Amino acid sequence: GDSVTQMEGPVTLSEEAFLTINCTYTATGYPSLFWYVQYPGEGLQLLLKATKADDKGSNKGFEATYRKETTSFHLEKGSVQVSDSAVYFCALSDVNRDDKIIFGKGTRLHILP
């Protein structure tokens, strides 16, 4: 079945460092890809998404490009801030088949001032 694999955490960086969180997927169809974020004490919220190959999703300085050839959707940010500390989930959904979203295990990010 479809699945998502993302790098294990925790990831600890200093403020203003460059961030990459790796995500790869396995899918039989043509899924949409997402990054969700869970800030401390809050619910999951959609960070960005891409619905087809070569699309780039972006929000709050974060970016991810849908790479069909490498089945990847890596999350990047050029300069992280302390407020980016959270758990990040890569996810996919094949809306042509069903509506459920399949999540990775999550990567906890700590940003040090």
Residues forming the site for other proteins (CB under 8 A)? 4, 32, 34, 41-46, 49, 51, 89, 91, 93, 95, 98-106
Least Cβ distance, residue 17 to other proteins (angstroms): 25
In the complex, least distance from residue 105 CB atom to other proteins, rounded to whole angstroms = 5
Tokens 């087809």 belong to residue: 52
Nearer to other proteins, 34 or 62 (CB): 34
Measured from the CB atom, the residue of 53 and 95 that comes closer to other proteins is 95
Q: Looking at beta carbons only, is 10 or 78 nearer to other proteins?
A: 10
- Spatial separation of the C-alpha atoms in residues 24 and 80, rounded to whole Å: 22
- Are 97 and 86 in contact by the 8 Å Cβ rule? The answer is no
Q: What are 53-57's contacts with CB under 8 Å, separation 24+? A: 57/33
Shortest Å, Cβ 13 to other proteins? 21
Q: What is the DSSP string of 91-111?
A: EEE-TTT----EE---EEEEE
